[in-house]
Structure 1
Amino acid sequence: MVRIAAFPAEDKNNPYINNFYSALCDESVKLVASNGSAYAWLKNNLDEYDIVHFHWLIEFYNNSSWKICFSHAIKFIQMLLFLKKSRKKVIFTLHNTFPHESRSRLIDWLVRVAILHICECVIVHSYSAKRQLRYLFGKFSNVVVMRHGHYKNNYLNLISREQARNKLNITAEEKVILFVGAIRPYKGVSELVLAFKKLKTSNLKLIIAGKLKESSYANQLELQISSDERIILHNKFIDDEELQLYFNACDLVVLPFNNSLTSGSLLLAYSFNKPVLVPQIASLNEYHISGLTYTIDGSLDSAIVNTLDNLKAIPTSDIAMEMQKFNWKECILPVKRKVANLS
Structure 2
Amino acid sequence: MTSRISTSRVALLSANPADANPYVALLRAGLASAGIEATLLDNPEADGLPEAARRADIVHLHWLELWGRPPYHSLQHLNRWGLPGRGVRRWLEPALNSPGRFETWRARFLDRFFAALAQYKADGGRLVYTLHNWGQHEGEHERTEQAALDRFLGLVDAVHVHAEYIVPELQARLPKAASPVIRVIPHGNYIGVYPNTISRSEARRDLGITNDSFACLFFGLIRPYKGLEELLPAFAQLADPHALLLIACLSWQRDFARQLAVIFA
> Structure 1 length as normaliser, TM-score?
0.57
For residue 69 of structure 1, give the secondary structure of its aligned residue in structure 2: helix
Give identity over the alignment, percent: 29
Does 1:3 find its partner at 2:12?
no
Tell me which residue corresponds to 2:140. 103
Contact 1:90–1:120 under 8 Å retained in 2: yes
Does 1:86 find its partner at 2:86?
no
Structure 2 residue runs without a partner (length 5+): 1-5, 70-96
Deviation at 1:210, TM superposition (A): 1.6
Tell me which residue corresponds to 1:129. 166
Report how many residues are paired.
Answer: 226
Distance 2:37 2:57 in 1: 10
Tell me which residue corresponds to 1:181. 220
Does 1:196 find its partner at 2:235?
yes
Q: In the alignment, which of 37, 52, 71 is matched to residue 30 of structure 1?
A: 37
Deviation at 1:118, TM superposition (A): 0.7
Does 1:64 find its partner at 2:98?
yes
For residue 111 of structure 2, give the secondary structure of its aligned residue in structure 1: helix
Deviation at 1:54, TM superposition (A): 0.4
Structure 1 residue runs without a partner (length 5+): 227-343
> Structure 2 length as normaliser, TM-score?
0.72
Give RMSD over aligned pairs.
Answer: 2.9
Tell me which residue corresponds to 1:224. 263
For residue 118 of structure 1, give the secondary structure of its aligned residue in structure 2: coil
Q: Deviations over 1:107-131 (max 9, x none)?
A: 1111111111111111111221111
Q: Deviations over 1:38-57 (max 9, x none)?
A: 44684644663222110011
Does 1:53 find its partner at 2:53?
no
Contact 1:39–1:79 under 8 Å retained in 2: no
Cα 1:34–1:127 change in 2 (3 A) is closer
The 5-angstrom pairing of residues 270-309 of structure 1 reads none
Distance 1:26 1:160 in 2: 30
For residue 251 of structure 2, give the secondary structure of its aligned residue in structure 1: coil
For residue 165 of structure 1, give the secondary structure of its aligned residue in structure 2: helix
What amino acid maps onto 2:198 in structure 1?
Answer: I
Distance 1:44 1:161 in 2: 48
Distance 1:222 1:8 in 2: 34
Contact 1:58–1:102 under 8 Å retained in 2: no
Q: In the alignment, which of 240, 243, 249 is matched to residue 210 of structure 1?
A: 249
